[in-house]
């Protein structure tokens, strides 16, 4: 016999009384609009340049326009212009649309070169269509993004989702969904078989609507589009019973991560053969990216060394005249993968006060620093010899600054203050970095300063790109003009 639900009926939350519009419908609309923009802009440009191209060639130009529109549609699909995240983020959408349009133009130019027909196409027409078509595509995407955002704000795309399991795991899942406004989900409430006082009437500000039988009834009534089962994975027998019952209903069924897995909720899941596994950490700046960064370091580092070599020569002479001792000195540092190396620096302290072990950071009015050294350290000119470390491959132009293993913050070793401090060594250390251009340079005399510097270093590692490096290098040039916190 079927188990009866004795739970009093509870009304659904607002917005859960009707199914949402599939987002795919809107995405296909965006596809059609942008295909039409490419097509129409090409035809209009052809009509505008009719005196240049001649009436006899109009049909050929129309065929070129059609081919380019198809090429754009294929490339835009490949690059991800119509992925879900690009429908709500104008920045991502513009980047992908612009990349697709540039790639389409490059494809057409290459095709014309291979077919030896490029000399038969008007340059004025080509440039006019490339500029006007690109601007119209970007304008169309702005309008479509605004439209899609308004529809989403009204809940048009939202799926009606029920959570089975009103325990701590289900409550945490509901809170996660409620705080992520990009999700197209309307939570209608919880369902749970445990009705003997172990489950509250409400969880995460949502009602508990009944047991498994009540959930199946709501599904049969057409009030639910998706069910997320939020039970502990250790309760294997119970999970199988619930899933086998729900499998007979025509809704999407998903299994929420176990409670402990919420720590890694933002990590991507990939297939290892046919087994899903969670990627906790990628190796940063690897593969092609590592090659690009190495080229960046060698090329820009070599150019920088050529440019500043006259200045370095003057500094070397000034150091020799200012105080006795060597011009350069080398200190041990920890580099990529915690491997030790020796960093080059212009000597800025008196030779009898230099430290190679148990290094203490320089402080304001430090008596160890020479008169010239104080000037060099304020402008970070004592770091210029580290260009040799870059060319040797021990350092990068941009990255977390290398610190000595014995350096302390607030009297404690860096690694004692931040337990994951070694994560900075996932990449090569740099002459400059994101923390430095954001003002976190100089002495780390407090633990808070170290934590801030560490947070900026991790942000750089996780968001690295060539453009980010170039931006930091430009910010570094500005920071040298208005130095702060260095002594």
Q: How far apart are CA 402 and CA 147, in angstroms?
A: 48
No. of helices (H) and no. of strands (E), the chain: 16, 14
The C-alpha atoms of residue 11 and residue 451 are separated, in whole angstroms, by: 48
Distances (CA, A) of 46 to 66, 111, 127, 338: 12, 20, 12, 61
Residue 11's pLDDT is what? Answer: 47
How many Cα atoms within 13 Å fall on the side-chain side of residue 144?
Answer: 25
- The answer to whether the CB of 280 falls within 8 A of the CB of 265 is no
- Structure confidence at residue 361 (pLDDT): 64
Both tokens assigned to 170: 């289900």
Domains in the chain and their CATH numbers? 23-153 (no CATH), 159-272 (3.40.50.720), 288-481 (no CATH)
Give the alpha-carbon dihedral of 159, 164, 165, 166, to 10 degrees.
50
pLDDT on residue 273:
65
Under a CB-based contact definition with an 8 Å cutoff, are residues 161 and 191 in contact? Answer: no
Q: What per-residue confidence (pLDDT) applies to 282?
A: 66
The token pair that represents 22 in the structure block = 């599939």
User: Strands, DSSP E only, in 240-309?
Assistant: 252-255, 269-272, 275-278
pLDDT of residue 392: 92
Q: How far apart are CA 80 and CA 85, in angstroms?
A: 9
Per the CB < 8 A criterion, the answer to whether 308 and 382 are in contact is: no
pLDDT of residue 355: 60
DSSP string, 382-422: GGTTHHHHHHHTS-EEESSPP--TT-EETTEEHHHHSTTGG
Q: What pLDDT shows up at residue 3?
A: 42
User: Which residues are registered as beta bridge partners of 228?
Assistant: 163, 254
pLDDT for position 9: 44
What pLDDT tens digit does each residue of the chain (487 aa) get? 344 344 444 444 444 555 556 677 888 899 999 999 999 999 998 888 876 666 557 788 888 899 999 999 999 998 888 887 788 888 888 889 999 999 999 998 888 888 888 778 888 888 889 999 999 999 999 999 988 888 877 777 788 899 998 888 888 888 888 887 777 788 889 998 876 666 777 887 888 888 899 999 998 888 888 899 888 877 788 888 888 888 888 888 888 877 655 555 566 666 666 666 666 566 677 777 888 899 999 999 999 999 999 999 999 999 989 888 889 988 888 888 778 899 999 988 887 766 655 566 666 667 788 888 888 888 888 899 999 999 999 999 999 988 766 665 555 665 555 555 667 778 899 999 998 888 877 666 677 777 788 888 888 988 888 889 999 998 888 776 655 555 4
Decide: 313 and 372 in contact? Cβ < 8 Å. Answer: no
């Amino acid at each position: 016999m079927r188990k009866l639900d004795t739970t009093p009926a509870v009304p659904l939350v607002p917005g859960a009384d009707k199914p949402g519009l599939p987002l795919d419908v809107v995405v296909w609309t965006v596809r059609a609009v942008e295909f039409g923009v490419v097509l129409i802009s090409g035809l209009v440009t052809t009509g505008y340049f009719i005196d240049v191209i001649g009436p006899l060639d109009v049909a050929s130009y129309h065929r070129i326009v059609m081919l380019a529109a198809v090429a754009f549609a294929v490339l835009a699909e490949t690059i991800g212009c119509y992925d879900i995240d690009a429908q709500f983020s104008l920045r991502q959408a513009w980047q992908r649309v612009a990349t697709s349009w540039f790639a389409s133009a490059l494809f057409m130019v290459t095709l014309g070169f291979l077919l030896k027909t490029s000399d038969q196409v008007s340059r004025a027409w080509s440039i006019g269509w490339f500029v006007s078509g690109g601007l119209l595509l970007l304008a169309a995407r702005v309008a479509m993004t605004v439209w899609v955002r308004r529809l989403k704000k009204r809940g048009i795309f939202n799926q009606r989702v029920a959570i089975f399991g009103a325990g701590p795991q289900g409550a945490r899942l509901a809170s996660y969904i409620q705080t992520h406004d990009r999700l197209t989900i309307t939570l209608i409430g919880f369902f749970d078989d445990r009705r003997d006082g172990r489950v509250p009437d409400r969880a995460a500000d949502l009602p508990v609507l009944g047991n498994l039988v009540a959930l199946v009834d709501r599904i049969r009534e057409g009030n639910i589009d998706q069910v997320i089962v939020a039970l502990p994975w250790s309760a294997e027998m119970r999970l199988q019973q619930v899933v086998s019952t729900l499998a007979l209903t025509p809704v999407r069924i998903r299994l929420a991560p176990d409670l402990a897995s919420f720590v890694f909720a933002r990590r991507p899941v990939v297939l290892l053969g046919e087994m899903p596994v969670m990627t906790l950490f990628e190796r940063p700046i690897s593969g092609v990216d590592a090659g690009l960064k190495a080229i960046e370091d060698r090329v820009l580092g070599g150019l920088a060394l050529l440019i500043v070599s006259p200045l370095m020569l003057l500094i070397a002479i000034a150091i020799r005249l200012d105080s006795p001792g060597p011009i350069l000195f080398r200190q041990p540092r920890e580099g990529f993968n915690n491997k030790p190396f020796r960093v080059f620096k212009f000597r800025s302290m008196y030779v009898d006060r230099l430290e190679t072990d148990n290094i203490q950071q320089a402080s304001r009015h430090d008596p160890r620093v020479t008169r010239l050294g104080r000037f060099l350290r304020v402008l970070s000119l004592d770091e210029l010899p580290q260009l040799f470390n870059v060319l040797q491959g021990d350092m990068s132009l941009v990255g977390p600054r290398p610190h000595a293993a014995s350096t302390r913050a607030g009297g404690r070793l860096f690694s004692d203050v931040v337990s994951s401090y070694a994560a900075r060594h996932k990449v090569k250390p740099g002459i400059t970095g994101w923390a430095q251009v954001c003002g976190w340079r100089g002495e780390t005399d407090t633990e808070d300063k170290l934590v801030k510097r560490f947070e900026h270093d991790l942000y750089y590692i996780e968001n690295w790109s060539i453009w980010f490096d170039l931006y930091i290098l430009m910010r570094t040039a500005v920071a040298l003009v208005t130095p702060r916190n260095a002594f």
